[in-house]
Chain A
Amino acid sequence: MEVSMRKTEDLINSLSDELRAVKPLETPLKRLFRWSLVGVASILVGIALFGIRENFELAIKDWMFWVHTFLMGIIAVSSAISAIIFSVPGRDRNFIIRWMPLFTLFAWIIAILSGVFSEGTHVAGLGFSCIRDIIVIGAVPGVALFVMILQGVVFKHLLAGVYGFLAVASLGALGTQFICASDSPLHLLVWHFLPVFLVGLIGAFVGNLLFKRS
């Protein structure tokens, strides 16, 4: 016991001796704001690269277009803020922070499925270009978000991984809304929702690898 006490004193002395000034993390909201700017810029670049959807004027008159756009935006923002907050010890216990992204994801699938079951014939079509758009738009914000998360200390690495990837994929899907001309619910389900969902699942595995316990 005496030896251990001395070891604690020695440890305190050595930690104090090696102390260097550090730059404290910015608040999660400030970091979310910076990430959102990167996200908006990436969407604009994506639209500039692949072109705005040909039926854009028609689409913005459809309220379901705005419902989907709003939900994707909320998923992106809530997932990003959750992933960022998971990198700050002691901030991750809030119920809303923990589960809001999943609730909004659920709301989005409900909105899509309500369309699938309420309307007539649906065509999923081929949407490989949608997946390409999601990846291209999400790439830079993805790197930015993961750099931000890695600046902190992640204890809930699985959730941080899921929400980090979900944020990036839903941001990509949000941008794709303005590029892809199809509003068919089945197309949205297969080529927009499923990729976002699968990327979120991949995030669980990557999170475990990337955010090792500190």
Chain B
Amino acid sequence: MIAAEDEEFCELMRKSQQGCEMSYRVLLQKASKQLEIYFSKKIFDSSMILDLVQETLISVHKSRHTFIQDAKFSPWFYAIAHNRYVDFIRKNKKLSFQFPNALDDSEYFSDEGAFDMEESLNHLSERERDILLLVKVEGLTIKETSSRVGLSEANIKVIVHRSIKKIRERLNGSKHEKD
């Protein structure tokens, strides 16, 4: 979410907190589109994506009082979306994930063209997994990720690099085992 867009969401949310129905409707419509993009990078099944979008919209509705007016919208919004997603993963243990750009290597893909990333991601620490998903799935820049998680840009780069390396090593290991 770029800065101007974030500011627009903030303004809509401020008005929504005051009870402006029109602003709220616009906010939810725009938010649902952002959520579709966010979840479609993580999950293949379109009906599951829409379920998650709807569940997240309900959470946003219930949590709207927790949006602090002088804060940015996207960390608040994506924290709720991420939480819904984590709940969803817990409920559905086996999920197919799209491959992050940096790992987009056909040799790791199964015949169906998809790879179950859950196991590989589970071997990363929570922080590594979150940062990798922010950079490679949500498509945030290093700078945006740095401000979102409160670490330096150099640190983010190192963590992303190490996480990709770990996944590669793991995938290579399992590939050799199969061979």
Binding site for B on A (CB under 8 A): 1, 4-5, 7-8, 11-13, 15-17, 19-27, 87-96, 151-153, 155, 213-214
Q: Is B37 an interface residue (CB 8 A)?
A: no
Closest 5 pairs between A and B when the two form their complex, measured CB to CB: A21-B19, A90-B75, A90-B79, A89-B79, A4-B50
User: Of A16, A24, A27, which one neighbours B65 at CB under 8 angstroms?
Assistant: A24
> Among the listed stretches B97-105, B147-155, B162-170, which one makes contact with chain A, having 4 or more residues with CB under 8 Å of it?
B147-155
User: Count of B residues near A, CB < 8 Å?
Assistant: 44
Chain A nearest Cβ from B20, distance in angstroms: 8
Question: What is the count of residue pairs linking A and B with beta-carbon distances less than 8 angstroms?
Answer: 105
Q: Contacts A11-B54, A25-B68: A93 and B149 contacting too (C-beta < 8 A)?
A: yes
Indicate whether B120 reaches chain A with its CB closer than 8 angstroms: no
Contact indicator A8/B66 (Cβ below 8 Å):
no
Residue of B nearest to A12 (CB): B28
Flag if B59 contacts A90 (CB, 8 Å).
no
B83 within 8 A of A: yes
Whether the Cβ atoms of A16 and B62 lie closer than 8 Å is no
A5-B50, A19-B16 known; A152 and B66 CB under 8 Å? yes
Interface of B is mostly: helix
Nearest CB of B to A116, in Å: 35
Specify which of A4, A87, A90 lies most central, judged by the most chain B CB atoms within 10 Å of its CB.
A90
B residues near A (Cβ < 8 Å) are 16-19, 21, 24-25, 28-29, 32, 46-47, 50-51, 53-54, 57-59, 61-71, 74-80, 83, 87, 130, 148-151
CA of A87 to CA of B80, assembled, Å: 12
Other than A7-B54, A24-B68, A155-B79, give 9 A-B pairs with Cβ distance below 8 A.
Answer: A21-B18, A25-B65, A87-B66, A90-B76, A92-B79, A93-B130, A96-B150, A153-B66, A155-B83
A25 / chain B contacts, CB cutoff of 8 Å: 65-66, 68
A153 → B minimal CB distance (Å): 5
Name the CB-closest residue of B to A96. B150
A19-B75 in contact (CB<8A): no
Asked whether, in the complex, the Cβ of B80 is within 8 Å of the Cβ of A89, the reply is: yes
- Contacts of A8 on B, CB cut-off 8 Å? 32, 50, 53-54, 57
Q: In the complex, which residues of chain B have a beta carbon less than 8 angstroms from the beta carbon of A12?
A: 25, 28-29, 32, 57
Q: Which residues of A contact B25 (CB under 8 A)?
A: 12-13, 16
Q: Report which residue of A5, A22, A23, A87 has the largest number of chain B beta carbons within 10 angstroms of its beta carbon.
A: A22
Chain A, residue nearest B22 (CB): A16
| Sample of 11 A–B contacts (CB below 8 Å) | A5-B50, A8-B32, A8-B57, A13-B25, A15-B61, A16-B28, A89-B75, A92-B79, A95-B151, A213-B83, A214-B63
